[in-house]
Amino acid sequence: MAGYTPATDREQAEMLAQIGVDSIDDLFAQIPEEVRLDRPLNLPDGMSESEVYRLLAGLADTNLDAERIPSFLGAGMYDHYVPAIVEAIISRSEFLTPYTPYQPEVSQGGLQVMFEFQTAMSEITGLPVSNAGLYEGPSAAASAAYLAMGQTRRTGLVASRGLHPHSRETLATHAVGFGASLIEVGLEGGLTSGAELEAAITDETAAVFLQNPNFLGAVEDIAALGEAAKAKGALLVVQVDPMTLGILRPPGECGADIAFGEGQPLGNRLDFGGPSFGFFCAKEGYIRKMPGRIAGETEDVDGRRGFVLTLQTREQHIRREKATSNICTAQALNALAGMIHLAWLGKQGFVELGELMARRTAYARGVIGSLDGYELLHDAPVVREFAVRSDRPVEEILPLGDESDGPAPRLPVYPLGRDYPEYEDSFLIAITENRSVDEVGWLAHMLEHGQAGWDAHIHEHDEAGNPVAGAAQ
Amino acid sequence: MTETPQQADRATTIYEKSVPGRRAAQLPPLGEGVEETPIEELIPPKLLRETPAELPEVSEPEIVRHYNRLSRRNFDLDTGFYPLGSCTMKYNPRLNERVAALPGHARLHPATDPADAQGALQLMYQLQESLAEITGLPTVSLQPSAGSQGELAGLLLTRAYHADQGRNPSKVLTPDTAHGTNPASVTMAGYEVVKVATNEQGGVDVEDLKAKIDDDVACLMLTNPNTLGVFDENIAEIASLVHETGALLYYDGANLNAIMGQARPGDMGFDIVHVNLHKSFSQPHGGGGPGAGPIAVSERVEPFIPRPQVVRVEDGDGEFFDLDYDRPKSIGRLRGFQGNFGVFVRSLAYILSLGGDGLSEASRLAVLNANYLKARMSEGRAGKYLPVAFDRHCMHEFVLSGAPMKKELGLKTLDLAKRLLDFGFHPPTVYFPLLVDEALMVEPVETEAKEHLDGFADAIDRILEEAESDPEIARNAPYTTPVRRLDEVGATRNPRIRHAG
């Protein structure tokens, strides 16, 4: 049993003597008998470190992760290459093990990271104010709704169906508590319907939610769509994929009042969905209504530059029921990973990565869109993800092999049917710098010729001995 | 006063280290057959960015040096004692980091078909079952991202539960000792906060509760042991008072580390519990996250839990773990995908390492450590200037009042906290709970050795001794930290929250 506890029997006896009791049980006497647990917890006995490792590594081994199959899954979280320095830095005890920087004199590292992160997020979104991060993308949508409702004193929320389904569902869950109503606006040709959007926005609309690129991968004309929100005095709130902002016009230049998003593509693992971080940026006027932590620059008593958590009167630990948000523990370490990745990409690399994704995606879209039995769901411009319609049910094309002996592995593309009954025959394909031309060839082969022997294709090797996906092509 | 070398090394941001033309990233080539089409031909120019975002231009060695240097400007748990009350700063086993980093976990896409994520879903299922046993409630949802999101989930469950019975109560009761997240979550769930007073033993004032509970109350949110480190002995009476009116009882699991294997919220009558995996279950705090805030619920609340839920399905050949979306009464989603899975891996590794007996022992030693340190601090100068607020055996933490210290030595709790930094200790939580004047909330946790508790008590004594002759020393502390006391008022008045390029 690994208790990670140092107290020896002798020390325990000394401590009990100092306290003036005979046993630890005496300390628990304050728990009334009737609510005390009179049996051991029904959990397995403790295990050695090597046994725990073996057990969990065994479970991990049954998952088909992006190391073992080329994953074209996206839908908000993407298989980017995370540079080695990210793990090296975030594994340092000094970043890994402290808590929220309540004592700034001994938390300058974490506070300065927050300040740098806020700067970087402001720069990429084109909005002057950023917080130090939220939980993840969809719950940041709820935070935006809360801010917008407080700001406008209105209760209507309007969301494009191009907004991530998880963001829409999260908004709907929170709307019950906020006393808000949520209306959805449909898509036409892959893009938010301008006419339907305009019709949905009223004098009671607090916020209009768009996403860019939208869930189908299409690049929206945010500035044009946003006019309708402006005309009625509603806040324009835009969810953005941060990795596309190297090339796409930032939300701040499209009239957005608030931009938020899922930070996973920046330096964070897929981790089956988390932990990652959310980001939240806004126009200057909303600085005192922001949710979450914010670091600010200041000076110490000797005039040295330093950083503190600032504008804390917004926060729950000061403001309690009048706080701008209930958030306490957020995702500081994940935001640090994002900052390191952005610094590593740098001013040039951030643009180059956006261009690389757009060009490879254009290539993949051409290859997949011209396969027999498949066509593009829409032909709107895209950056890193696109939607394909199949003339067979999607469920039929996913299994990679014979299913007579149980489920076969699934082709790692995102079926749209669960979230969009109207696109039941379609799926999404996501491209990153990790998805090579060979792997696109493998995907095309799997889609066109059936799926038996999928792993043989992946595990073939070129003359240099490097694994080549799709070598059978 | 002479500056320390670290103080002399002034803060510079990564932006100030930027040199035009420098870079770290080397991206892979486009690939054979991929054309270098101008981006304007792929995406209409009006939708494109005109000028690149101002990100730093730095080489990889400079990035590593920069963040390593920054890291040394943090105090952390691996360096020293961190008795931050209510935060359960226990040791973070490195095994947990290793298993979380395995590619089968770390590179598993959240939209992977359940058939290809059986290991991950089984892991989540096993964690759900373990937390159900520890909390004494039948059903666990892992989805909430942190404690406060667990609270909000619990309150939305409360709303759904009442609505399902055709009721719409408007108030939620919280003790005046509650964490700030409780009232903030109550407001976000559309309820009105009503405060319940604390009795002389530090528990809920039952008479005040009786006066305030009626059928317009949706639920009572409690932390037990509470934020004073005291177990509420009247819990059974409180539970029946609450349930008689049809209200639910909510358990803030921030203090679960006191009672694992000793008592269970479900057995006390709680309907909804949130658990902070970053407290009791050793997920590293990361400088302010990530965490996770799973909720455990009673049978009557189960139909409303967030979706999707991880379920185990028996089929002919064995078992299959699936994501169940078909939950018509569910409150819906609180966030994207399935929750903070990486945190689940670490917490399950922790639970497996300790086992049932180990968890129980952890709580017992946490309570022993807290009572020992409290006993040490009841003597001498600490006993004189920093009396325990509610003097009785505590659970895993205790609260001191700095009021006598302020009156007799002219030293505020803040001054004591800042002086502790010079002695190499992270201070306790200060000025919380609000109920206690000049409060210091101390949580020593089970993974701290006796000599560190002694060292802390000795440091407090030395600071108080020093203040008896010269309180100015503590009033101007700290002296040895990377920066000294910072102008927080100025930072708020004139917010500078990003590098001005």
In the structure, what pLDDT confidence band is assigned to residue B336 with cuts at 50, 70 and 90? very high
Judged by CB atoms closer than 8 Å, whether chains meet at A343 and B58 is answered as yes
pLDDT, average across residues B482-492: 96
Q: State which H helix or E strand residue A318 sits in.
A: helix A316-319
CA nearest to A418 within chain B: B325
Alpha-carbon distance A39 to B464, whole Å?
Answer: 45
In the structure, what pLDDT confidence band is assigned to residue B295 with cuts at 50, 70 and 90? very high
In the structure, what pLDDT confidence band is assigned to residue B10 with cuts at 50, 70 and 90? very high
Judged by CB atoms closer than 8 Å, whether chains meet at A349 and B25 is answered as yes
In angstroms, how far is CA B24 from the centroid of its own chain? 35
**HEC secondary structure over A283-301:** CHHHHHHCCCCCEEEEEEC
Measured CA to CA in angstroms, residue B482 lies from A45, B13, B488 at distances of: 45, 15, 16
Using CB atoms, which residue from B82, B145, B498 is nearest to A119? B498
Q: Which pair of tokens denotes residue A388? A: 């394909």
Whole-angstrom Cα Rg for chain B: 26
Measured CA to CA in angstroms, residue B325 lies from A165, A307, A419, B492 at distances of: 14, 44, 11, 45
| Phi, psi at B469, each rounded to 5° | -95, -35
pLDDT in tens, B179-230: 889 999 999 999 999 999 999 888 999 999 999 999 999 999 999 999 889 9
Beta carbons of B324 and B311 less than 8 angstroms apart: yes
CA nearest to A99 within chain B: B287
Judged by CB atoms closer than 8 Å, whether chains meet at A358 and B291 is answered as no
pLDDT, average across residues B168-189: 93
Q: State which H helix or E strand residue B248 sits in.
A: strand B248-252
Measured CA to CA in angstroms, residue B291 lies from A82, A94, B147, B150, B250 at distances of: 21, 17, 8, 11, 20
B97 contacts in A (CB within 8 Å)? 91, 96
Using CB atoms, which residue from B22, B33, B151 is nearest to A326? B151
Q: State which H helix or E strand residue B148 sits in.
A: helix B147-164
Closest CA to B198 of B421, B37, B473, B435: B435
| B457 three-state secondary structure | helix
Using CB atoms, which residue from B43, B107, B146 is nearest to A328? B146
pLDDT, average across residues B13-30: 97
On whether any CB of chain B is under 8 Å from the CB of A426, the answer is no
Whole-angstrom Cα Rg for chain A: 26
Alpha-carbon distance B85 to B432, whole Å?
Answer: 9
Q: Strand pairing of B272-274 and B439-442? A: unpaired
The CATH class, in words, for A84-339 is alpha beta
- pTM for the predicted model, two decimal places: 0.97
Measured CA to CA in angstroms, residue B122 lies from A55, A333, B108, B116, B188 at distances of: 12, 26, 14, 12, 33
In angstroms, how far is CA B213 from the centroid of its own chain? 29
In angstroms, how far is CA A375 from the centroid of its own chain? 29
pLDDT (0 to 100) of residue A2: 59
Q: How far is B409 from chain A (nearest CA, A)?
A: 23
Alpha-carbon distance A331 to A321, whole Å?
Answer: 23
B319 bridge partner residues: B314
pLDDT (0 to 100) of residue B390: 85
Alpha-carbon distance B193 to B185, whole Å?
Answer: 10
| A247 three-state secondary structure | coil
Q: Hey, which CATH number is domain A348-468, 3.30.390.30, 3.40.50.300, 3.30.530.20, 3.90.1150.10?
A: 3.90.1150.10
* Higher-pLDDT residue of A404, B245: B245
Beta carbons of A222 and A412 less than 8 angstroms apart: no
pLDDT in tens, B397-454: 999 999 999 999 999 999 999 999 999 999 999 999 988 999 999 999 999 999 999 9
pLDDT (0 to 100) of residue B258: 97
pLDDT in tens, B380-401: 999 999 999 988 999 999 999 9
Q: How far is B69 from chain A (nearest CA, A)?
A: 8
Judged by CB atoms closer than 8 Å, whether chains meet at A43 and B487 is answered as no
Q: State the average pLDDT for chain B.
A: 96
Alpha-carbon distance B335 to B483, whole Å?
Answer: 38
The DSSP code sequence of B189-218 is TT-EEEEE-B-TTSSB-HHHHHHH-STTEE
B292 contacts in A (CB within 8 Å)? 275
Q: How many C-beta atoms lie closer than 10 Å to residue A418's C-beta?
A: 11
| Phi, psi at B84, each rounded to 5° | -75, 110
On whether any CB of chain B is under 8 Å from the CB of A80, the answer is no
Judged by CB atoms closer than 8 Å, whether chains meet at B372 and A18 is answered as yes
Judged by CB atoms closer than 8 Å, whether chains meet at B338 and A83 is answered as no
Beta carbons of B148 and B293 less than 8 angstroms apart: yes
Judged by CB atoms closer than 8 Å, whether chains meet at A296 and B68 is answered as no
The DSSP code sequence of A51-104 is HHHHHHHHHHHTS--TTTS-----TT---PPPPHHHHHHHTSHHHHS--S-SSG
Q: How many C-beta atoms lie closer than 10 Å to residue A301's C-beta?
A: 12
Judged by CB atoms closer than 8 Å, whether chains meet at A381 and B288 is answered as no
On whether any CB of chain B is under 8 Å from the CB of A250, the answer is yes
pLDDT (0 to 100) of residue A434: 97
- Alpha carbon dihedral B297, B303, B305, B309, in 10-degree steps, equals 110
Closest CA to B239 of B191, B208, B204, B211: B204
pLDDT (0 to 100) of residue A461: 47
B236 contacts in A (CB within 8 Å)? 32, 34-35
pLDDT in tens, B52-94: 999 999 999 999 999 999 999 999 999 999 999 999 999 999 9
What percent of chain B stands above pLDDT 90? 95
Task: Give residue A241's identity as a one-letter amino acid code.
Answer: D
pLDDT (0 to 100) of residue A460: 52
Closest CA to A149 of A70, A235, A212: A235
Judged by CB atoms closer than 8 Å, whether chains meet at A30 and B356 is answered as no
CA nearest to A91 within chain B: B97
In chain A, which among 184-213 make CB contacts under 8 A with chain B? none
Judged by CB atoms closer than 8 Å, whether chains meet at A316 and B25 is answered as no
Judged by CB atoms closer than 8 Å, whether chains meet at B499 and A135 is answered as no
Across the A/B interface, how many CB contacts are shorter than 8 Å? Answer: 747
Alpha-carbon distance B333 to B466, whole Å?
Answer: 55
Q: Domains of chain A: which residue ranges?
A: 9-61, 84-339, 348-468
Give chain B's domains with CATH numbers. Answer: 1-73 (no CATH), 81-91+137-307+363-481 (3.40.640.10)
On whether any CB of chain B is under 8 Å from the CB of A306, the answer is yes
Q: How far is A203 from chain B (nearest CA, A)?
A: 22
Whether the link from the prior residue into A128 is cis, omega within 30° of 0, is no
Q: Strands of B336-481 (E only): list them.
A: 398-401, 429-430, 439-442
Residues of chain A scoring pLDDT < 50: 461-467, 469-473
The DSSP code sequence of A371-429 is STTEEES--S-BSSEEEEEESS-HHHHSB-S--TTSPPPBPSSEE-TTT-GGGTTEEEE
pLDDT in tens, B28-63: 999 999 999 999 999 999 999 999 999 999 999 999
Judged by CB atoms closer than 8 Å, whether chains meet at B496 and A296 is answered as yes
Judged by CB atoms closer than 8 Å, whether chains meet at B90 and A4 is answered as yes
